[in-house]
Structure 1
């Protein structure tokens, strides 16, 4: 799957996707992440051939850091 974002193409065909280490083995409502050159892809783990969101690496790392630091509240 090749996707275009912000004027450049991102090839996800050879991406190695993974789930969070916090995901349980029987969890079916997860997202998967793939690091590819110049981008980070995020997709629904139940729809592996469906669409993916594409983020700039800096934006993705800022999101993850904010999540780890409780930036979105805690439940």
Structure 2
């Protein structure tokens, strides 16, 4: 089964982009456009949500 990857909304055209996908095992996976087959992060949805919250907090500091 092929995973469906969604490109980050912060990615501009032609840039190296982060892609996210929900795996059949329930984990959230991240990869980058330079190597779409190489998963660079796999986390449970709650851990991924915490990562996103912290990243947003850091953006406002």
TM superposition shift of 1:54 = 1.1
Q: Does residue 56 of structure 1 match 2:47?
A: no
**Which of the numbers 14, 17, 31 marks the counterpart of 2:5?**
17
Q: TM-score, normalised by structure 1?
A: 0.64
Unaligned runs of 5+ in 2: none
The alignment status of 1:45 with 2:33, answered yes or no, reads yes
Deviations 1:15-74 (A, max 9, x none): 1101211110121x222110234100111211122x212111111110001111227x75
The whole-number CA distance in structure 2 between the counterparts of 1:26 and 1:42 is 18
2-side partners of 1:14 and 1:20: how far apart?
19
Stretches of structure 1 lacking an aligned partner (at least 5 in a row)? 1-12
Question: Where does structure 1 differ by over 4 angstroms across 4 or more consecutive aligned residues?
Answer: none
More helix by percentage: 2
Which residue of 15, 18, 37 corresponds with 1:31? Answer: 18
